[in-house]
């Protein structure tokens, strides 16, 4: 397989979730075999999003925050200011002839990029079997979730949606849901763990780690 070019980075700033969601689907509908892969970096105003498997009852009380049904995998999560969100608009068939196999590898690569990003700020993250996302692996808040992951992978091998990492945000809305479908699951952000990095700094770190993982050969 020939060398892959790095994805185009799109900085979309702060943008309403519905606008980004519609744009992701339109981009994917229109892409061809020549369309560059892209990573979209965005920060959303407060919103709860439901994955295809989500039970709406996991939103206990939205307190006026919009609740949006999506077509990604996974359960319910919250997006808000102070959270890095990166959407991965990729053509998996460029990366492996069997895109179904690479889909599983892609999840692992995204999770590793988050773990490596946290390590850059002296924070320890880990995976949990059967629970996509990243959780603290040590300290007083061990087990708390700090990053969520949900993808849509079409039969064409084209992907959208992606990953969110809590940097410095109001975590209260997570108390109004069962995050990712788990009652009582604690959530945390980098600021409450002592990391002083700005949102822009963490965006750049996560983008660099995602590109490194996407360009790395083989399984992680």
How far apart (Å, rounded) are the C-alpha atoms in residues 198 and 2?
Answer: 37
Distance of CA 184 to the CA centre of its chain: 21
**3-state percent helix, strand, coil for the chain, nearest multiple of 5:** 30, 30, 40
Number of H helices, E strands in the chain: 3, 10
Is 154 considered catalytic here?
no
Distance of CA 220 to the CA centre of its chain: 18
Identify the active-site residue in 180, 190, 207, 214. 180
| First CA to last CA distance, the chain | 19
Residues annotated as part of the active site: 180
């Amino acid at each position: 397989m020939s060398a892959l070019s790095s994805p185009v980075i799109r900085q979309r700033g702060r943008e309403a979730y519905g606008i980004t969601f519609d744009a992701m689907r339109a981009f994917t509908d229109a892409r061809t075999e020549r369309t560059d892969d892209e990573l979209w970096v965005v920060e959303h105003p407060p919103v709860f999003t439901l994955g295809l498997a989500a039970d709406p009852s996991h939103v206990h009380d939205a307190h006026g925050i919009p609740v949006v049904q999506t077509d990604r995998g996974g359960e319910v999560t919250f997006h808000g200011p102070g959270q890095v969100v990166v959407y991965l608009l990729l053509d998996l068939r460029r990366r492996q002839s069997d895109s179904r196999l690479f889909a599983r590898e892609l999840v692992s690569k995204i999770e590793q990029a988050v773990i490596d990003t946290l390590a850059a700020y002296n924070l320890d993250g880990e995976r949990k079997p059967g629970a996509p996302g990243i959780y603290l692996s040590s300290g007083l808040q061990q087990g708390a979730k700090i990053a969520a992951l949900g993808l849509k992978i079409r039969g064409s091998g084209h992907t959208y949606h992606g990953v969110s990492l809590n940097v410095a945000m109001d975590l209260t809305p997570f108390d109004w849901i069962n995050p990712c479908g788990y009652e009582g699951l604690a959530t945390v952000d980098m600021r409450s763990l002592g990391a002083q990095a700005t949102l822009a700094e963490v965006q750049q770190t996560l983008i660099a780690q995602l590109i490194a993982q996407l360009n790395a050969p083989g399984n992680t």
